Every structure is written in structure tokens, then in C-alpha cells.
Amino acid sequence: MDTATRRRPVRLAALSLVVAGALAACVPPAPPAGSVPVMGSSRVGAAGLVQWFSARSPGGYAAGVDVGALATSFIEEGAAEGVRGDVAFLQSIVETGWFRFSGQVPPSANNFAGIGATGGGTYATFPDARTGVRAQIQHLRAYADASATSCTVPPLHYPCVDPRFHLVSPKGRAPTWNQMGNGNLATSTTYASTILNLYSQLLQFHGLAS
């Protein structure tokens, strides 16, 4: 066996290690135990969301549709894209201040997640509440699902209405709610814990294990 032949297996083995390392770097680490995935089925339905909200809301509800219709939109739109609509509903409570819209985004914008609210009075607007919820669900899927490579049908169930879908890079960068905040969806360091605290309250209200 000549020298070149002896060296070839060594070079191939080294190349294989480099390729394997590159592939491993592209695969996000598994979420810690107890994390709440963004993708999945809702544990609480629309009626359960309304019941809990009615018992907890501080008042001043200002959304353009009643809370029952809004909760139904979250559950249905979430199911269409494989996103947990019940937790997305709780995200909207945090973003809108229990749908009182005391911040930058007015209720007429039908924007329940602060999409495009980057300061200076700019924010995304949607023609109706259902479309606003759809945009929010699509935006969440962009963060949670690496297979949602473009805001088109497919991979999405409905045509793209999220104006900032393309800005999420890489897709699937935050597959759990525990990873939200700190630059994912929001800058707040307590964004995830605030939403997850409401989720824990929701589950306890309905006698469900966290």
C-alpha cells in the first residue's frame, strides 16, 4: 500500500468528523424538561378561556369583538397551524393589558401581539380580529417551527398575513414559550415567565396538571 492510499482513510475520517460537527451545530438542543412547546394542541378550549378570563379580567375590555369570538379565533387558528392557541391567547393578554390596549397599539388595529410595534407610533394593522389572530399564530409558528420556511401555502395552512414572518431567522429558533423574550418576540427578560405564570393559573383554574 503506497503512502497516498494509507493517508486517504485518515483524511476521510477527519472530513466525516467536520461534517458531523457542522450538522450537529445546525440542530437546536432539546428543550429542558418541563418546557411548554409553542407547537401542539391547546389544552383549554375557547369556552374554558372565556370562563377563566371572565373570572380574572380587571375590566375595560376594548377589543372589537367579544371575548368569546376572540377566544374561538385563537383556538381555531392555532389548530390550523399546529400552534397552541390557548397560550397565544394568554400572550395577547400580556401584550394588550387584558385587552384594554393601554399601550401603543389601539384596539382598531386588531393587533393582539404588538406585531410591528417597534416604537415611533408604528405597528401592523389588520382588517378584522380573525386576521390579526391569524397573523399572530403565523408569527409564532415562524419562531417555533423550522419547517415553516416561507410565509406561503404550504407550509402554512392559510395565506400569509404576517408582515414580519420573513424577519424571523432562523425559523424554529424558539420552539418553546420558555425561550420567548430576550430578543425572541420581545426584549423583556420576564416575557416568558409572565405568560407561563398565566398559563399555570389557567390550568389550575380548570383542574389540569401543569
Q: Average pLDDT for residues 152-180, to the nearest whole number?
A: 98
Query: Number of structural domains, the chain?
Result: 1
What is the predicted pLDDT for the residue at 105?
97
User: Does residue 131 fall inside a structural domain?
Assistant: yes
User: Does residue 11 fall inside a structural domain?
Assistant: no
Tell me the per-residue pLDDT of 140-154, one tens digit each, with 9 for 90 and over.
999 999 999 999 999
Range with lowest mean pLDDT among 158-162, 165-169, 206-210: 206-210
195: helix, coil or strand? helix
Output the average pLDDT for the chain: 89
User: Does residue 3 fall inside a structural domain?
Assistant: no
User: Does residue 177 fall inside a structural domain?
Assistant: yes
Tell me the per-residue pLDDT of 56-105, one tens digit each, with 9 for 90 and over.
999 999 999 999 999 999 999 999 999 999 999 999 999 999 999 999 99
Given a cut of 60, whether residue 35 has pLDDT beyond it is yes
Q: Average pLDDT for residues 26-46, to the nearest whole number?
A: 81
Cell numbers standing for residue 27: 440542530
User: Does residue 29 fall inside a structural domain?
Assistant: no
User: Does residue 17 fall inside a structural domain?
Assistant: no
Given a cut of 80, whether residue 176 has pLDDT beyond it is yes
Residue 71 buriedness (CB in 10 A; 0-12 / 13-18 / 19+): buried
Q: How far is CA 38 from each of CA 33, 105, 146, rounded to the nearest angstrom?
A: 14, 24, 12
Residue 104 buriedness (CB in 10 A; 0-12 / 13-18 / 19+): middle
Tell me the per-residue pLDDT of 112-142, one tens digit each, with 9 for 90 and over.
999 999 888 899 999 999 999 999 999 999 9
User: Does residue 150 fall inside a structural domain?
Assistant: yes
Q: 1 versus 45: which is more confidently predicted?
A: 45
What is the predicted pLDDT for the residue at 120?
83
What is the predicted pLDDT for the residue at 209?
86
Model-level pTM? 0.86
Q: Which domain holds residue 46?
A: 36-205
Tell me the per-residue pLDDT of 14-33, one tens digit each, with 9 for 90 and over.
444 443 444 344 445 566 66
User: Does residue 57 fall inside a structural domain?
Assistant: yes
